[in-house]
């Protein structure tokens, strides 16, 4: 069985992506901070006939993240697809949102740690085996502000844009080595309770683009606008 590892797994996008890939025969490794939350997701996937396992780790702790991915790889016999989509649904200590005029080194650094450094750490853990096999897929998610900045999220946009830039460069150097990397920018509100006038989409509908990217490998970036 091929294996999908979802870093930043939660009940929204992470679960939808896990269900979609799991429905196509993938085992699923789920990585996030909360063990109880992950155990609930594993149970929900099992109810759909999908084999999944939880590997708790804080994305901000790069050594713990690398260890969790190593454990997932050992458990399932490798990782074929890495999907990185952290999104703090509950407050994360030290992570705050700031507009452009309020951005400081102190409130930008945690965003870079969260988005860029976490992604780099995750990729470096799985890439050696992918390169040795000459096969593998790396999918990274940000909000749409990585492409079209939102002034309310000045520090988040800067970190997400850095991740986007790195992923595009990464795909360029991996293209002839059998490993594929792509960036997905989600420019919609996921689910209900969107601000007035903001475009919305369901997580299951957005998840479909990840499968399309995995199967087609025809672009290094996709912006989901609904």
Model pLDDT for residues 59-73, shown as the tens digit of each residue: 999 999 999 999 999
pLDDT the model gives residue 197: 66
- Strand, helix or coil for residue 160: helix
pLDDT the model gives residue 92: 65
Q: How do the residues of the chain divide into helix, strand and coil, expressed in percent and rounded to 5?
A: 50, 20, 30
List C-alpha distances in Å: 172 to 169, 177, 184, 216: 5, 10, 16, 16
Q: What is the mean pLDDT of each run of 10 residues along the chain (226 residues)?
A: 95 95 98 93 96 95 96 98 82 77 93 94 97 97 91 89 97 94 91 72 92 96 90
For residues 16 and 32, give the distance between their C-alpha atoms in angstroms, rounded to a whole number.
15
Question: First and final CA of the chain: distance in angstroms?
Answer: 32
**Tokens encoding 109:** 């650094």
CB-based burial label for 222 (10 Å; 0-12, 13-18, 19+): middle
pLDDT the model gives residue 95: 81
For residues 51 and 4, give the distance between their C-alpha atoms in angstroms, rounded to a whole number.
11
pLDDT the model gives residue 31: 97
For residues 50 and 73, give the distance between their C-alpha atoms in angstroms, rounded to a whole number.
17
Token pair 């096999």 is found at 133
pLDDT the model gives residue 194: 65
């Amino acid at each position: 069985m091929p294996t999908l590892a979802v870093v930043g797994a939660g009940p929204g996008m992470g679960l939808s992506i896990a269900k979609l890939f799991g429905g196509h025969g993938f085992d699923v490794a789920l990585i996030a901070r909360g063990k109880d939350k992950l155990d609930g997701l594993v149970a929900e996937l099992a109810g759909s006939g999908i084999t999944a396992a939880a590997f708790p780790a804080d994305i901000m702790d790069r050594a713990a993240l690398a260890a969790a991915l190593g454990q997932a790889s050992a458990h399932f016999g490798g990782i074929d697809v890495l999907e990185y989509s952290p999104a703090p649904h509950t407050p994360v200590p030290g992570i705050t949102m700031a507009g452009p005029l309020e951005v400081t080194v102190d409130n930008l650094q945690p965003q870079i740690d969260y988005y860029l450094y976490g992604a780099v750490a995750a990729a470096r853990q799985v890439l050696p085996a992918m390169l040795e096999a000459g096969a593998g897929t790396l999918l990274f998610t940000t909000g749409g502000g990585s492409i079209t900045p939102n002034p309310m999220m000045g520090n988040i946009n800067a970190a997400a844009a850095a991740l986007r830039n790195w992923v595009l460069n990464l795909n360029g150097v991996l293209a002839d080595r059998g490993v594929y990397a792509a960036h997905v920018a989600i420019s919609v509100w996921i689910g209900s309770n969107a601000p007035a006038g903001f475009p919305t989409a369901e997580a299951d509908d957005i998840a479909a683009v990840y499968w399309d990217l995995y199967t087609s490998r025809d672009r290094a970036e996709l912006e989901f606008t609904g």
